Copies of this chain bind each other. A is one copy, B any other.
């Protein structure tokens, strides 16, 4: 693959998640473009393709994957359609980012795994996106240093404002707790060996018939225990929290202040060491905003007037430092262009 050429991606499925990925690749991601979209709803596929330069619309994944400008596939169709899409991608030996779940049940997942193993190399990245969240990444990195000792317990909280209308009691496990299942396996490096689900009082806020909240206990082959509060109609907000309790301390994320550790008589977190760490996002957003407005022929953001005013104030400030007294700032009248 030409390292300079953008990666051509076929997005399979253009529902909420698929359409969001199309937007992301088109507007946010560097080095890639959407060259094809696939949906059984041809109209929806056409509508999405129309917004992206050089993007074709398809109803058949195989047709899209056969296109010359398709280098990789992003599968965002409903779970039951994943197996077929994955097997087709394997036929073309295309790399795939497959939204979770890989497939809806273990038997089909096993078939996919056997097909990939037959290729002899990995082709699939599954969409367990918590592994890419900054806080989870830092938590994992901390655990790997071994400074906290071995993990003994993992306490998870997973709360949603409200569940969608089609949600069933078992989807709290298969759709929601699925994230904690992967997070548990990934953070601890253990396989899960048994599951228990406890059922506290149903919240008055849960739709009729929905067993919400639930409390899940996961046992692992490493001996660590992982418990999950899943509460999908908590009403107050979306919260995903995790605390790992290790032999020498604990580490917690999701409370709104990054990674907090408790160890050796102290609790706390780290302080950034420079601006590239503290303001990385701001620099990226600044330049992206400039590129986006410039492509639209607009100029926004801090103006020349702002630059001038800052220069005038700093000049006065330097004099104030040198003279040890209050220095007044004199600005010219603000030109009409900057009002």
Contacts and interface: CB of A to CB of B under 8 A. Distances in A.
A154 B68 CA distance: 57
A279 B224 contact: no
A130 interface: yes
A15 interface: no
A3 to B, nearest CB: 6
Interface stretch (A35-43, A58-66, A92-100, A138-146): A92-100
A167 interface: no
What range describes how many residues of A lie at the interface? 35 or more
A116 interface: yes
A227 B284 CA distance: 28
Given A95-B299, A317-B173, A270 B262 contact: no
Nearest to A174: B314
A194 B315 CA distance: 11
Contacts of A174: 314-315, 317-318
A80 to B, nearest CB: 12
B312 A127 contact: no
Interface string A304-329: 11111111111111101110111111
Contact of A304 (B109, B287, B295, B316): B109
Contacts of A191: 309, 329, 331
B308 A106 contact: yes
A47 interface: no
Nearest to A307: B102
Interface in A97-119: 97-98, 100-106, 108-110, 112-114, 116-117
Contacts of A297: 1
Nearest to A213: B152
A25 interface: yes
A127 B284 CA distance: 12
17 contacts: A7-B294, A29-B30, A109-B304, A113-B307, A114-B335, A121-B337, A122-B299, A125-B301, A126-B307, A129-B282, A170-B321, A173-B314, A182-B306, A196-B327, A204-B247, A236-B250, A267-B268
A277 interface: yes
A222 B201 contact: yes
Nearest to A148: B236
A235 to B, nearest CB: 6
B211 A169 contact: no
A91 interface: no
A85 interface: no
A84 to B, nearest CB: 15
B303 A124 contact: yes
A81 B274 CA distance: 26
B106 A315 contact: yes
Contacts of A327: 194-196
Contacts of A32: 287, 291
B109 A308 contact: yes
Nearest to A115: B304
